[in-house]
Amino acid sequence: MKKPTAVMLFLFFAVSLFSLDVSAITSIEDAEFPLTHNIVWKDDVDPELELLPSLPGTEQIQQCFSELRPEIAVEKLYRVSLSPNAAGDVRSVFLRLANIFGNPETQTKYMYDSHWRGEVPLIEEAYICNERGRKALPLQFGLADIPGTFEYFQYADEANFSGIIMKVSLDITERYVRVSLENVRNLRLGILSVLPKESIFVENFFFVEGNALYVYSISQLKKDISIKRIGPSTVKPAGMIRKRMDVMAGWVAGELTQ
């Protein structure tokens, strides 16, 4: 597949210094995706979210990022090809996305390359729950729920961490879907408490342009993980986050296109 020209790449990065214009996104070749950017805070300069598209709804993501000032943050931009029929019915695509997130039990099919355990399912168990983790039925949304905003909780045991409870905020509109997640329980590795509650923030922003669904995702850790004490060798948190983001994007794409 033909690579972007130097002129196009210059245009892309020049635009993304402040926000990423949709026309710049759509001109990038499929082979370049997913785009990835590791974010580093400096005392004198607040970094920009270089991959955040310039669209209604994304200003809230930028604002939350600026207020949080996470020590570790990774943003990625994915492209998922859609059939012409699907791309022409955006409301149905968004409804399907809402129902994918409303039934996290399907995540258990998707694999992750664990630093300690090798190739394993990233999510071993997941379900909708109440704030204390008690299991509830999957959520089912209909066209009447667009537009709409919903909040609920999700439990997960995953490859390295267990007993995760996330508060999920789902915003479905005619133009985009935004899914925000925040941990409401300490993140544990065995008997060790690795991260306190309200320290993990994940944002997913979905929009359709042309015959593709675009997925902007940013994973943020409010504080760095003390990783040398939880394994025989050092694990880079940003690398671990990137792999998890790819699995979750694969889950959405797989469930959407099956």
Question: Any idea where the domains of the chain sit in the sequence?
Answer: 6-257
For the domain spanning 6-257, the CATH number is 3.30.530
Cα–Cα distance between 26 and 212 in angstroms, integer? 9
For residue 244, the SS3 value is: helix
Instruction: Dump pLDDT digits (tens) for 119-151.
Output: 888 899 999 999 999 999 999 999 999 999 999
Two structure tokens written together for 254: 């797989």
What pLDDT sits at residue 16? Answer: 38
Instruction: Dump pLDDT digits (tens) for 80-100.
Output: 999 999 999 999 999 999 999
Angle between helices 237-257 and 90-101 (to 10 degrees): 120
Beta pairing, strands 148-158 & 164-172 = antiparallel
Cα–Cα distance between 96 and 103 in angstroms, integer? 11
Weakest-pLDDT range from 153-162, 171-180, 227-236, 242-251 = 227-236
